[in-house]
Chains A and B, each alone.
Chain A
Amino acid sequence: EAQVVESGGGLVQRGGSLRLSCAASEFTFSRHWMSWVRQAPGKGLEWVANINQDGSEENYVDSVKGRFTISRDNAKNSLYLQMNNLRAEDTAVYHCARVRPAAIFVMDVWGQGTTVTVSS
């Protein structure tokens, strides 16, 4: 069964940096767009970023542009999210999600998430 598992979350001070990782297994990672979606405490889902199969195309929500960078290593079946200049409003559970084939947004495999807490 296809699976993605996130890691790398933690407590960081405002203005600090953190790198999230997502390990994919049981599917051909290099054939799928991949996404990051976050959920602040008590709030709804917020799409953060996605990246295409070979890493040549990236998209971001406006609030993280210039601060976050999504990347992937197909040889390691891994997805990453480099988060710089973190703000209190970035506090959330960050989910890695596989995008369904031939789609750019439909997320059909989700991880349980990793928690990022930004302290002021």
Chain B
Amino acid sequence: QSVLTQPPSVSAAPGQKVTISCSGSSSNIGNNYVSWYQQLPRTAPKLLIYDNNKRPSGIPDRFSGSKSGTSATLGITGLQTGDEADYYCGTWDSSLSAGVFGGGTKVTVL
């Protein structure tokens, strides 16, 4: 059971938009920045979003992040077949003094 809660899967047609939710508590999302990671099949995770809504260099603006209270959301617009991957939210938990991830969400392009 992960500290952060994500839906197991989301899907949409090419060109459409998907959103992935990440729910936590005041000790983690509520008081710390959220980051999002993309893991393509058989590869290492890749940083997509940090500090709730910032994109590292090279990440297209089709990917966006937001946070409200104890929840965060990753949005992907203009969905492409290359976006099929597992997506994880993560943050620091101040009560645990440990990093925490969501269980991951598999994005399927129909």
Contact = CB atoms under 8 A, between A and B. Distances in A.
A61 B88 CA distance: 18
Interface stretch (B10-18, B30-38, B60-68, B70-78): B30-38
Interface residues of A, number: 23
A111 interface: yes
Nearest to B28: A105
A60 B44 contact: no
Nearest to A98: B47
Contacts of A47: 90, 98-101
A32 B16 CA distance: 38
Contacts of A100: 47, 50
Contacts of A26: none
Interface string B40-53: 00011111001100
Contact of B98 (A60, A103, A106, A112): A60
Q: Which residue of B2, B98, B103 has the most chain A CB atoms within 10 A of its CB atom?
A: B98
Contact of B2 (A35, A44, A59, A111): A44
B110 interface: no
A108 B44 contact: no
A45 interface: yes
A87 interface: no
Interface in A33-86: 35, 37, 44-47, 50, 59-62
A117 B12 CA distance: 37
A3 to B, nearest CB: 11
Nearest to B51: A106
Nearest to A109: B47
A44 B101 contact: yes
B17 to A, nearest CB: 24
A105 B91 contact: yes
Interface of B: 2, 32-33, 35, 37, 39, 43-47, 50-51, 56, 86, 88, 90-92, 96-104
